[in-house]
Amino acid sequence: MSKLEELTPNAAVRGILPDALATVVSVQWFGSEALELTYKSPSGKVANELLYRHDEPRVEVVEQGRPWSFDGEGDLFRLVSEADRIRLAHLFDPVLAVHTSVIEPLPHQITAVYDVMLPRQPLRFLLADDPGAGKTIMAGLLMKELIARGDLHRCLVVCPGSLAEQWQDELYRRFHLPFEILTNDKLEAARTGNWFLETNLVIARLDKLSRNEDVQEKLKAPDCRWDLIVCDEAHKMSASIFGGEVKYT
């Protein structure tokens, strides 16, 4: 014997069907003495029955309904759990970007990225190592690590024109980062009128940004914000004096 109040969704009930258990789908009360029970048979057939207080002796709840069910899509659950595991991977691997990139970093590169740059928030850092010391590797490591931690979505790399393709190749080949190089064709083909708003990983030539006022205006758009800006050959951005006049890059 079970009380009518014990008939909750997902509960297994004996006494509704003659030779099988019924699974409660839903319950609708009519006052405090009667309810309409919607149940499902083992074959999946759904039916309804009115139950009153005098029916309690023939009704027995065999298994209480669970507060949540486990009948969701297993493949979808696995996909979501795997995505969550990857999202939190940096908590278990302190040098995740190193292990997910095609590089063999040197000790000074690990120190610069993980001991000096990453702990700084906000980051303003001048990387002034000698030529050939792997500054591009350090920048790529920083980008990859920030992306893995969810701190980097939009990144702008500013470099001399002759190095744009090299930056694009290095970042994709070593770190699988699909940067796009700014060109006139892309600016003109932008659906929104501002290509920078449509592209999150951008490489721009320094001379293009310094001489094209239209591009500068697009960069000043309120929504055109960057999580990280990397300036290669930064000494070329310094102001110069010619004929007593200060010229800015």
Residue 209 sits in the same domain as residue 191: yes
- pLDDT band of residue 92 (cuts 50, 70, 90) is confident
Answer whether 39's CB lies under 8 Å from 24's CB: yes
Residue 178 sits in the same domain as residue 248: yes
Residue 162 sits in the same domain as residue 244: yes
- Boundary residue ending a domain (151, 167, 198): 151
Answer whether 15's CB lies under 8 Å from 60's CB: yes
Residue 162 sits in the same domain as residue 248: yes
pLDDT tens readout for residues 151-208: 999 999 999 999 999 999 999 999 999 999 999 999 999 999 999 999 999 999 999 9
Residue 212 is encoded by which pair of tokens? 């094209």
The pTM score is 0.66
pLDDT of residue 6: 86
The torsion angles phi and psi of 103, rounded to 5 degrees, stand at -145, 160
Quote the DSSP letter at residue 230. E
Number of domains making up the chain: 3
Average pLDDT, the chain: 88
Closest residue by Cα to residue 34 from 15, 50, 11, 17: 50
Residue 117 sits in the same domain as residue 169: no
* pLDDT for residue 76 is more than 70: yes
pLDDT of residue 66: 58
172-181, 220-229, 236-245: least confident range: 236-245
Average pLDDT over residues 219-225: 92
- Domain limits for position 25: 4-63
**Rounded Cα–Cα distance for residues 113 and 166 (Å):** 21
Residue 101 is encoded by which pair of tokens? 């990139």
pLDDT tens readout for residues 103-142: 999 999 999 999 999 888 777 888 888 788 889 999 999 9
Any idea what the CATH number is for the domain that residue 55 is in?
2.30.30
Give the β-pairing of 180-181 and 22-30.
Answer: unpaired
Quote the DSSP letter at residue 187. H
